[in-house]
Amino acid sequence: MKTNATIHIFLGDDTVRARATLTRLVEEAKVSDPTALVSRFDDVSFDAALVSEALQQQSIFGGGGVVVLDGILDHEGGEDFYREKNNLKNTPHAVFIRETNPNKEMYALLKEIGTIEEFPLRKIIEKNNDFAIADAVAMRDKRAAWVELVKQQRAGAAMEEVHGKIFWAVKTLYLCATQTKEEVLKAGVKDYTYRNYQPRAKNFLIHELEEKLGELKSMYHRAHQGDAELGLLLEQFMLKL
């Protein structure tokens, strides 16, 4: 399949810059066509049927539309949706996709689908202890996790980045607690990580991990909607660890 120039894909850990670029281009598309209908889907609102409908629906004003897919790989159906390339191949609309760290297979597939722009993190904070906060969460060490959070706040780390590490830790624990080793590795978790996190998954009940994943997703959207500060919500999360 040839690259579709109307599909723009933003990848990388620097979600702040990636989303800023995505937002700017969406706004430019809306200026170019004020009648364009913008449909947005993330890992919470994702529904394959609704996205497919949005990709094909015609505007009553006759113009094109805009479809934004933001982090749908965090939804269990995200990978399957991308694998069905025809979902995106013939859309008459502009499509903007943002994902963080797709695996090699998914990266290659996305490269076939559209034009990729990458956003690696420009600043690495204490590289040797980059995931100390994730490890503290996995150990269910409330004090150590809170201390690491404060360290990163004082170092000027983006709270979205910190949230991503904590979400990754809880999601990895959940995978280790609910799936076989083969399934976990197939999901993209490295063998070294599995060997370290699988025993730590026993620090939590499965329903606790499910609740914490839900809380992390909820706080992320609350922060982006301006209801609360993400750093404060993360502090509260740590204190309830």
Q: What tens digit of pLDDT does each residue of 180-207 get?
A: 999 999 988 999 999 999 999 999 999 9
In sequence order, the 6+-apart residues with CB closer than 8 A to the CB of 4 are: 88, 89, 95, 113, 114
Q: Which of 1-10, 75-84, 127-136, 169-178 has the highest mean pLDDT?
A: 169-178
Same domain, 114 and 144: no
Boundaries of domain holding 62: 7-118
pLDDT at position 211 over 70: yes
Same domain, 148 and 97: no
Question: Quick one: residue 133, left, alpha or beta (phi over 0 = left, psi -120 to 50 = alpha)?
Answer: alpha
pLDDT at position 1 over 50: no
Q: Examine residue 1 and state whether it is found in any structural domain, yes or no.
A: no
pLDDT at position 214 over 90: yes
Q: What is the CATH number of the domain that holds 75?
A: 3.40.50.300
Rounded CA separation 146/76 (Å): 30
Higher pLDDT, 214 or 89: 214
**Domain count of the chain?**
2
Cβ–Cβ < 8 Å for 8, 115: yes
Same domain, 61 and 84: yes
pLDDT at position 217 over 70: yes
Q: What is the CATH number of the domain that holds 207?
A: 1.20.272.10
pLDDT at 86: 75
Q: Examine residue 2 and state whether it is found in any structural domain, yes or no.
A: no
Last residue of a domain, one of 60, 83, 118: 118
Cβ–Cβ < 8 Å for 11, 18: yes
pLDDT at 56: 85
Same domain, 114 and 131: no
pLDDT at 3: 39
Q: What is the per-residue pLDDT across 122-168, written as a single tens digit (0 to 9) for each?
A: 654 444 456 899 999 999 999 999 999 998 888 888 899 899 999 99
pLDDT at 62: 59
CA dihedral 76, 11, 94, 47 (to 10 degrees): 10
Same domain, 114 and 49: yes
pLDDT at position 2 over 50: no
Q: What is the per-residue pLDDT across 29-79, written as a single tens digit (0 to 9) for each?
A: 888 888 888 899 999 899 999 999 998 887 665 567 899 999 999 999 999
Instruction: Read off the DSSP letter of residue 190.
Output: -
Quick one: three-class SS letters along 103-162? CHHHHHHHHHHCEEEECCCCCCCCHHHCCHHHHHHHCCCHHHHHHHHHHHHHCCCCHHHH
Same domain, 114 and 179: no
Cβ–Cβ < 8 Å for 32, 26: no
Same domain, 113 and 148: no
Does pTM surpass 0.75? no
Partners of 10 in the β-ladder: 98, 117
Same domain, 152 and 218: yes
